[in-house]
Structure 1
Amino acid sequence: MRGAGWKCTVRILKNTSFLRVLQQPEGYRVPCTSVGFFERTLELVIRSAHFAGMSFIMVSQRMLRKAAPAKINLGLHVLRKRSDGYHDIETVFLRIGWADEVSITPPEGRKEADFPAFSGPLQVIPVEDASPADRVLQVPPGADNLVYRAARCLNPDKAASIELRKRIPVGAGLGGGSSDAATALHLLNDWWKLGRSLEELIDIAASVGADAAFFAAGDAAAFGTGRGDMLKPLLQDGTPYVFPYHLVVAAPPVQVSTAGAYALVQPNDRNRPDLCEVLLSGDPERWRAELTNDFERVILPRYPRIAAAKTVLEETGAVYASLSGSGSAVYGAFEDEARARKAEDVLRRSGCRTWRGRA
C-alpha cells in the first residue's frame, strides 16, 4: 500500500470542540502512505475522542470501528420478581466515556488459525494491546459471547470479522458486554447494508441483554423500567439531561455475579421514591437519601474492597457516591475537578481500575 495515498473517513457523531478542530463536520480525510500509518493515525483519533467523551464511527474501505461506552446507574430499585425468572426494576442509565472498541472487517483473506475465538463464519478476535492501561480479556466464542449472539440475531447467514478491544472492566456493573453487543449491531447493520431501523436494532439488543437496549438507543441518559429494556430518554427542561458533576468511576479487582446479586436482594415495590424527580432536583442531600441502589445493602457487606472504594470516594469529597448496577464498580460525583483527581489517584494506588471525566 505504500505510496497508494489510501484514505479513510472518520465520521464524528457528536458536535464538540474536537470536531471544530477537525474543521470538517462531515468527516476528516486522512491521506495515508501505508496501512500502518493509517492505523497509528486512527488510534490517535480514537484515543482523543475517548478523552473528549465522544461517540463516533470510523468508516474506511477496510474497516468500521466504533466506541462502545460504559454506563452507570443513578439509583436502582429492584421492584419484583417476574414469572419468567427476571426482575422488574427501575433505574436511570447514564452513559460515560469509559469505552471498549468494536471493529468490523471482512472475513476474506484470513485463515481460521488467525482467530483464537473462531466460531462459524463470524469471528470474534481478542485484540492484543500493548498499553498496560487497556487490559485485554479473552472473549468467549459462540453463544456465550453477547457480540456473537447479537450478530447472529441480526443475520444468521452473513459473515464478518469482529475485533473487540476491552477497556471496560468485566463483572463491574458498567454494561461493557451489552454495549459491545449493541455497538456491533449498529456496525453490522451498516456493514451488511441491512437497513434495519433504530427500533428494530433496539428490539434485537433487548433480546440479547436488557442493558443492551439502552446502548442501542443511543441516549445520553434514560429512565429504564421492566428488565431495564423499557426506556424513556431523560430530559430536563425539554433538553437531554446533562450530569452536572465530575465523575470518578472505580472498579476494584473483584467481579460480582449479576445472577448471584439478584438472588440476594429483597425486591420491594412499595413507596419507592421517583428516581427521575429526585435526580432532576439536583440536590446532593436528596440524592444521598433517596437516589439509592438496592444492591448496596447486600453487596457492600460481602465485598470489603467495594465498600472501601466507596468510602474513599466519600472521604475525598464526593457529594454523592453509589454502586453501579450490581457492582463491582462504584462512582462518585465531585463539584471540584481537583478533588476528583485526588480520589482517582488514591483509588488507583489501592488497586482499582478507574475512569474520570464528564458524562
Structure 2
Amino acid sequence: MLTFPNCKINIGLRITEKRSDGFHNLQSCFYPIGWSDVLELIPASEFSFVSSGLDIPGDPARNLCVRAYEFLRADFDLPPVHMHLHKIVPIGAGLGGGSSDAAFALKLLNERFSLGLTVGQLQDYARRLGSDCAFFVENKPAYCIEKGDVFREISLDLSGYFILLIYPNLAISTAEAYAGVRPRHPEVSLLEQLQTPIETWRDWIHNDFEDSLFPVYPVLGEIKQKLYELGALYASMSGSGSTVYGIFQAPVTVSNHLGRYNVWQGKL
C-alpha cells in the first residue's frame, strides 16, 4: 500500500501564552498543500523501517512512523510490516512534514488491518506523537488552538490560488524558534482576521516567530520581500520556519536568485 503524506502551511501564527506543561498555546490556521513525501507499507516476516530521499536525522527506531506502528501494535497486536519512507518535504522547515508522515502511517495501518478506528480515535493516537500530527488525520483547513492540536472548523477556501514555497536550506529547531517568542494575547482574534479578503492579510495576519527569527536569519525577511515583489497577495513564514511562502493569483516564474533554494509551486 502506498500513500503520499502532504505538508501544510500556517496562515498566521500567534503565540498567546506559555502553558504549565512547558508548551505554548497558540492561534493559527493550518492549510494543507500538495508538497508530499511517499510512504509504502507491505507485509513482512519481521518489522523494518527504511528511508530514502532527504536524510532524516536521529535514530530511525524513533522515527514517528515507527512510533505510530508501535502504538497500534501494542493495542491491536499488529503483524510485522515493512515501512519505506521516501522523504521529499524538507525537515525543520515549518511545514509539519514529519507530523504528516506519522498521521498517514496511522491511517494506512488502520486501513490495511481494518482496525475500524474513527477520526477521533486516530487523532488521539496522533496527539501522542506530536502537536501537529492530529491535523493531518482529516487533512483539511482548520483553525487551531491550544498546542495546535485542538481544531475548529473554518470556512476558508483558497482553491484557485497558487502557492510558491521557498526553503532556504536552513533548518530551524522548534526549541530555537520558541526561545525567542514573547507570548501575548491579541486584541483581535486571528479567526476574525481570516474572514477578511486575502488582499488585506498583509496588514493584519502575522507569524509571531518572524519577530525573533528574521533578525537572526535575514535571508528569511529577504525572501518574504521578494515574494511580494513578485506579486504575492500574501507572504509569510510557515510555522516556526524556515520555509517562506507566497500566495498568488497565477503561477510565478522563479528568478535565478530564488532558484538556488529548494522551491515548490502548486495550486491550492
Is 2:215 aligned against 1:305? Answer: no
Letter in 2 for 1:125: V
1:280 offset after TM fit, Å? 2.6
- What is the aligned partner in structure 1 of residue 8 from structure 2? 71
- What is the aligned partner in structure 2 of residue 215 from structure 1? 136
- What is the aligned partner in structure 1 of residue 183 from structure 2? 267
**Runs of at least 4 residues of structure 1 off by over 6 A?**
none
- What is the aligned partner in structure 2 of residue 180 from structure 1? 101
- Tell which has more relative contact order, 1 or 2 (C-alpha 8 A, sep 6+): 2
Cα deviations by residue, 1:142-164 (Å, 9 ceiling, x for unpaired): 55311111221122343211110
- What is the aligned partner in structure 1 of residue 51 from structure 2? 126
Q: Give matches, 1:133-172, under 5 Å.
A: 135-138=53-56, 140-141=58-59, 144-156=62-74, 157-158=77-78, 159-172=80-93
Is 2:28 aligned against 1:96? Answer: no
Is 2:113 aligned against 1:199? Answer: no
1:270 offset after TM fit, Å? 4.0
Tell me which of 145, 150, 154 is aligned to 1:225. 145
Q: Secondary structure at the match of 2:2?
A: strand
Q: TM-score, normalised by structure 1?
A: 0.70
Q: CA RMSD in A?
A: 1.7
- Provide structure 1 residue ranges, at least 5 long, that are not aligned to the other structure: 1-63, 109-120, 128-134
1:172 offset after TM fit, Å? 0.2
1:336 offset after TM fit, Å? 3.0
Choose 1 or 2 for highest CA Rg: 1
1:189 offset after TM fit, Å? 1.1
CA contact (8 A) 1:142 1:149 kept: no
Letter in 1 for 2:185: D
- What is the aligned partner in structure 2 of residue 341 from structure 1? 253
Q: How many residues align?
A: 265
1:252 offset after TM fit, Å? 0.5
Cα distance in 2 for residues equivalent to 1:314 and 1:232: 30
CA contact (8 A) 2:198 2:234 kept: no
Letter in 1 for 2:262: R
Letter in 1 for 2:197: G
Cα distance in 1 for residues equivalent to 2:95 and 2:261: 14
Is 2:163 aligned against 1:242? Answer: no
Q: Secondary structure at the match of 1:147?
A: helix
Cα distance in 1 for residues equivalent to 2:144 and 2:182: 19
CA contact (8 A) 1:284 1:319 kept: yes
Cα deviations by residue, 1:178-233 (Å, 9 ceiling, x for unpaired): 000000000011222222111100111111011111101222x1000010000123
Letter in 1 for 2:68: A
Q: TM-score, normalised by structure 2?
A: 0.93
Q: Secondary structure at the match of 2:11?
A: strand
Cα distance in 1 for residues equivalent to 2:57 and 2:115: 26
Change in Cα spacing, 1:142 to 1:254, as seen in structure 2 (3 Å) is closer
Letter in 2 for 1:347: L
CA contact (8 A) 1:107 1:160 kept: yes
Tell me which of 262, 275, 278 is aligned to 2:193. 278
Give identity over the alignment, percent. 37
